Amino acid sequence: MDRAELECELERLHAASFGWALGCCGRNRDDAEEVLQTVYLKVLDGKARFDGRSSLKTWLFAVIRRTAMAHRRTRWIRSLALLRLPPPQPPPEVDQMETRRLVAALRRLSRRQREVLELVFYHDMTIEEAGQALRISLGSARVHYTRGKKRLEALLGNE
């Protein structure tokens, strides 16, 4: 895949990638933008290479997730080094009550459960694709999916 083709694909997947970056960055838009920009540079500079073992979207989501984790670690270390706490995050920019409840409920799940559910329901991936994006086995992805969905339904039902 040459650079022009890659740019075209990245632009096509941009909205979905941004949604996934938001999920990986605790729904902070600034962080998601920064992470996504870093990912695009990595991909276009050839630091992250698509090997064709999965779909481009799955691979790109895995790169976004890894980059977001590195970004989070850097921020944490920087906040320790400067001896100050990170600024409080603004509330999610969602207007409707239902989605606000969903975001609050998602925050109470474990990271893996939240990631699997977001990939399956938000990004319409299969559980297998979600497992590939998260670099975990299909069995493990299934367990996180089942437990996460059960917990999420309970949380949404109770609130």
Partner 1 sequence: MNDSDLRSLFHQLRDEETRFPPSPRTRGEGAPKGRMRGWALAIVAILIVIVFALRRRPEPTESILTWKPPTDVLLRTPGSELLTTVPRIPDLPERK
Q: Which residues bind partner 1 (CB under 8 A)?
A: 7, 10-11, 14-16, 18-19, 22, 27, 29, 33-34, 36-38, 40-41, 44-45, 74, 93-96, 98-99, 102-103, 117-118, 121-123, 149, 152-153, 156-157
Cβ proximity to partner 1: between 42 and 143 the closer is 42
Q: Minimum Å distance from CB 82 to partner 1?
A: 13
Q: Return d(Cα 51, Cα 115) in angstroms, integer.
A: 23
Cβ proximity to partner 1: between 24 and 53 the closer is 24
Q: Minimum Å distance from CB 69 to partner 1?
A: 15
Cβ proximity to partner 1: between 58 and 67 the closer is 67
Q: How many other CB atoms are found less than 10 A from the CB of residue 136?
A: 16
Q: Minimum Å distance from CB 138 to partner 1?
A: 19
Question: What does the DSSP assignment read for 92-105?
Answer: P---SHHHHHHHHH
Q: Return d(Cα 155, Cα 109) in angstroms, integer.
A: 9
Cβ proximity to partner 1: between 41 and 80 the closer is 41
Q: Which two tokens stand for residue 135?
A: 């670099």
Q: Minimum Å distance from CB 72 to partner 1?
A: 12
Question: What does the DSSP assignment read for 66-97?
Answer: HHHHHHHHHHHHHHHHTT-PPPPPPPP---SH
Q: Return d(Cα 86, Cα 71) in angstroms, integer.
A: 13
**Residue for token digits 């670690």?**
73
Cβ proximity to partner 1: between 47 and 53 the closer is 47
Q: Minimum Å distance from CB 109 to partner 1?
A: 13
